[in-house]
Copies of this chain bind each other. A is one copy, B any other.
């Protein structure tokens, strides 16, 4: 039976590298982008563990303030807005729209499941041309928790009217794949450059370097 496909958005579908020029401008080093996003993820997990929910844009701004303090930089409100706001207009990786075409042709039901707040997620997916492929843009804000909390994946399954085992989370992040599988979902890992699976957690049955090949593998595995 065909899974309902749940797509992570930041890095998995959209190219976070588009923010590098902003970090180059503000910090004098575009690579700080990845240090920042690492802190964003750490804080997201910390909000899950401590059950102190914050929306993902607040998490992004706080991580930016931490990077600024760490590197002895003063940030203006414009700096914060241009970086966090820049997440709304990141381009899709080149394989993404053809991958969605293939999955739509194969008859899959699809939704996004990102930590981004609802308005940001909608803007991201519309700007990238992905929204028309999706049956739903599911918001973690409705359950006041961020991924990789199990209840987020369970909520998404409920919104799509299926059990968690009938969903498949697709992401370029090992922690998202591990969180989804731990919550009883299937998963697929997009092994984008620099992205690797965590060997401590179960390996998904679908692993490929781009969404076209991920789509082929999903279609073959579920035929």
| A residues apposed to B, CB below 8 Å | 38, 41-43, 45-52, 54, 58-59, 62, 65-66, 69-70, 148-150, 174-175, 178-179, 182, 194-201
> How many Å from the CB of A46 to the closest CB on chain B?
5
Query: Are A149 and B194 in touch, CB under 8 angstroms?
Result: no
Given A45-B45, A52-B182, A182-B52, decide whether A66 and B149 contact each other with a Cβ distance below 8 A: no
Query: Are A46 and B175 in touch, CB under 8 angstroms?
Result: yes
> How many Å from the CB of A81 to the closest CB on chain B?
17
Closest partner residue, chain B, to A181 (CB atom): B50
Contact residues in B for A175 (Cβ distance below 8 Å): 42, 46
List the number of copies, as a whole number.
2
What is the CA–CA distance of A199 and B70 in the complex, to the nearest angstrom?
A: 13
What is the CA–CA distance of A199 and B46 in the complex, to the nearest angstrom?
A: 13
Query: Are B201 and A52 in touch, CB under 8 angstroms?
Result: yes
Contact residues in B for A49 (Cβ distance below 8 Å): 45, 48-49, 148-150, 179, 182
> How many Å from the CB of A32 to the closest CB on chain B?
13
21 chain-A/chain-B pairs, Cβ below 8 angstroms: A38-B38, A42-B42, A45-B45, A45-B46, A45-B49, A46-B175, A46-B198, A46-B201, A47-B200, A49-B148, A49-B149, A49-B179, A50-B178, A50-B182, A51-B182, A52-B200, A54-B200, A66-B197, A69-B196, A70-B195, A70-B196
Query: Are A196 and B66 in touch, CB under 8 angstroms?
Result: yes
Query: Are A200 and B58 in touch, CB under 8 angstroms?
Result: yes
> How many Å from the CB of A217 to the closest CB on chain B?
20
Query: Are B41 and A198 in touch, CB under 8 angstroms?
Result: no
Which 8 pairs of residues, A with B, have the shortest CB-CB distance? A50-B182, A45-B45, A69-B196, A62-B200, A62-B199, A66-B196, A46-B175, A70-B196
Closest partner residue, chain B, to A45 (CB atom): B45
Contact residues in B for A45 (Cβ distance below 8 Å): 42, 45-46, 49
Contact of A65 among B69, B194, B199 (CB under 8 A): B199
Closest partner residue, chain B, to A59 (CB atom): B200
What is the CA–CA distance of A143 and B60 in the complex, to the nearest angstrom?
A: 32
